[in-house]
């Protein structure tokens, strides 16, 4: 599917991250509740609140709804003052934050699943200049965007210096001067509405943080072409506040209005939505409790017809699909009253990317034989057969493989070209073939061409 002629906005939720980090934490998950309760058992009232959450009937026993528990602890109730243990609430919240950050870090340490699909999505967004709005804290998409076009290669690159919608210097600037990787914003933005695990603040900045205070801090960003090596993140760490700049998942997000950088990010988001011709939600449940997000999408999507909105989630079976559909319909009808069941798919983010952002090619008999992904050609068995050269030719490692005829046929020229344009040798991670499309109408072989005959 090509969306180069549309202004598409992608909205990413926890289901998107889970497609690539299967053990990434969810809103309701195991956050070490029993150990947490034991840690604070000398304070009977706070410990009772933890145990009450672990026994809540709307999730498996022992799990914690992070949003609900943190909201309870951050926003004091009038009756809390009878116990004089409110000071303990902040300590529990900090422990929950640490557990959450560790879950994300551990999930990433296990490696990226579906790396080819993640690269495909990142490259598609860059090439089509599609804005991504995300509620996720992790930086797996950030890294995929950066490594797709390192900034020393092309000004079309996405870089964390500018790609978040505001100038964000690397954390090395705490210890030495560092120029921006690209001197002006690119056209593709990654808007992180709740902050990010790699957004850090130098020690000593008072709240609310001015925009200039936010630094991006991660091991994957390299400063190319400036005559010095990257300083290890461990070296810079002592000069930064311990907590990343993230808004914890609580029901009342007053800090969204208090932090200038987040106000700016949300302004970019509403502008992108208002100008969009298509919006795709990938793994985002649109919780009814997130009032700010509800207003953002209700107002930002008001101009779009129902068919311009798609919601992609994942279900393991038909029962799971129906339960999730019922829940999602309730949530999405709060912001789009006319949305119907037809706008929901339950294949998961990775499969949707694989099936919608690649283009299949056929032989003369109309049989699908390969697909194109960002200029690379992959056979039905998942082998990279070459890259696009001179508009229509496909070459790999100096060998001619074939060429694209009539837009969607991959054929072999009987007298292949002798001038070698190159072609890829070592392909990057590639998406899996995915769902095989049905055959199409056959054609008569053009003069001078034959079928390639790959499986």
**Which residues, 6 or more positions from 78, have their beta carbon under 8 angstroms from its beta carbon?**
none
**Digit-coded pLDDT (tens) for 130-185:** 999 999 999 999 999 999 986 655 667 899 999 999 999 999 989 887 776 666 67
User: Which of 83, 109, 135 is where one domain is finished?
Assistant: 109
One domain, residues 139 and 264: yes
Bigger pLDDT: 6 or 342? Answer: 342
**Which residues, 6 or more positions from 339, have their beta carbon under 8 angstroms from its beta carbon?**
306, 309, 311, 329, 332, 333
One domain, residues 202 and 313: yes
Structural domain tally of the chain?
3
User: Apex CA 170: angle with CA 164 and CA 175, to 5°?
Assistant: 155
One domain, residues 7 and 89: no
Residue 2 has a pLDDT of 41
**Digit-coded pLDDT (tens) for 36-71:** 999 999 998 889 999 999 999 988 999 999 888 888
Bigger pLDDT: 419 or 116? Answer: 116
Is pLDDT at 84 greater than 80 in this prediction?
no
One domain, residues 293 and 155: yes
What is the average per-residue pLDDT within 378-386? 93
One domain, residues 140 and 100: no
One domain, residues 124 and 86: no
**Digit-coded pLDDT (tens) for 220-236:** 987 765 556 788 899 99
**Which residues, 6 or more positions from 346, have their beta carbon under 8 angstroms from its beta carbon?**
312, 313, 314, 315, 321, 324, 325
User: Which of 357, 386, 407 is where one domain is finished?
Assistant: 357
**Digit-coded pLDDT (tens) for 291-331:** 889 999 999 999 999 999 999 999 999 999 999 999 999 99
One domain, residues 273 and 397: no
Domain of residue 438, residue span: 359-451
User: Which of 70, 89, 109 is where one domain is finished?
Assistant: 109
CA trace torsion 318, 320, 326, 330 (10° rounding): -140
Is pLDDT at 120 greater than 50 in this prediction?
yes
Is pLDDT at 338 greater than 90 in this prediction?
no
Strand partners, 246: 195
One domain, residues 315 and 325: yes
What are the φ/ψ torsions at residue 94 (nearest 5 degrees)? -65, -40
Residue 1 has a pLDDT of 41
One domain, residues 436 and 312: no
Residue 123 and residue 150 in contact, taking contact as beta carbons nearer than 8 Å: no
One domain, residues 307 and 364: no
One domain, residues 79 and 200: no
Residue 251 has a pLDDT of 65
For CA atoms 214, 215, 218, 223, the dihedral sign is positive
Residue 398 has a pLDDT of 85
Coil vs helix vs strand at 201? coil
One domain, residues 231 and 185: yes
What is the average per-residue pLDDT within 78-95? 81
Bigger pLDDT: 73 or 365? Answer: 365
Bigger pLDDT: 187 or 5? Answer: 187
């Amino acid at each position: 599917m090509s969306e180069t002629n549309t202004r598409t906005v992608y909205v990413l939720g926890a289901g998107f991250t889970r497609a690539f980090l299967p053990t990434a934490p969810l809103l309701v998950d195991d956050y070490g509740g029993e150990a947490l309760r034991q840690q604070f058992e000398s304070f009977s009232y706070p410990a009772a609140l933890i145990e009450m959450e672990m026994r809540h009937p709307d999730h498996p026993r022992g799990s914690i709804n992070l949003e609900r528990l943190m909201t309870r602890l951050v926003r004091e109730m009038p009756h809390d003052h009878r116990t004089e243990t409110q000071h303990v609430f902040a300590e529990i919240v900090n422990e929950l934050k640490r557990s959450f950050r560790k879950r994300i870090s551990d999930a990433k340490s296990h490696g990226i699943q579906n790396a080819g699909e993640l690269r495909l999505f990142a490259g598609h967004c860059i090439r089509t200049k599609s804005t991504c709005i995300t509620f996720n804290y992790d930086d797996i998409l950030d890294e995929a965007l950066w490594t797709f076009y390192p900034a020393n290669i092309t000004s079309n690159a996405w870089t964390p210096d500018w790609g978040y919608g505001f100038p964000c210097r690397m954390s090395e600037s705490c210890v030495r001067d560092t120029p921006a990787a690209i001197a002006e914003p690119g056209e593709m933005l990654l808007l992180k509405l709740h902050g990010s695990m790699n957004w850090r603040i130098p020690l000593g900045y008072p709240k609310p943080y001015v925009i200039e205070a936010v630094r991006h801090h991660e091991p994957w960003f390299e400063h190319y072409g400036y005559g010095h090596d990257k300083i290890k993140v461990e070296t810079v760490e002592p000069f930064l506040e311990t907590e990343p700049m993230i808004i914890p998942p609580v029901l009342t997000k007053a800090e969204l209005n208090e932090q200038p950088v987040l106000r700016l990010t949300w302004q970019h988001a509403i502008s992108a939505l208002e100008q969009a011709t298509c919006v795709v939600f990938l793994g985002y449940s649109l919780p009814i409790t997130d009032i700010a997000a509800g207003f953002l999408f209700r107002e930002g999507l008001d101009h779009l017809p129902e068919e311009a909105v798609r919601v992609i989630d994942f279900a393991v079976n038909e029962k799971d699909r129906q339960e999730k559909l019922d829940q999602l319909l309730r949530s999405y009808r709060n912001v789009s009253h006319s949305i119907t069941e037809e706008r929901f798919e339950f294949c998961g983010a990775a499969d949707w990317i694989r099936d919608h952002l690649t283009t299949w090619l056929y032989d003369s008999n109309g049989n699908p034989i390969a697909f194109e992904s960002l200029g690379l050609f992959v056979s039905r068995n998942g082998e990279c057969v070459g890259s696009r050269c001179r508009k229509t030719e496909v070459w790999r490692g100096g060998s001619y493989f074939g060429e694209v005829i009539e837009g969607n046929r991959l054929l072999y020229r009987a007298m292949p070209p002798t001038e070698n344009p190159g072609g890829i040798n070592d392909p990057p991670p590639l998406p899996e073939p995915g769902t095989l499309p049905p055959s199409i109408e056959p054609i008569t072989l053009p003069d001078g061409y034959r079928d390639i005959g790959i499986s």
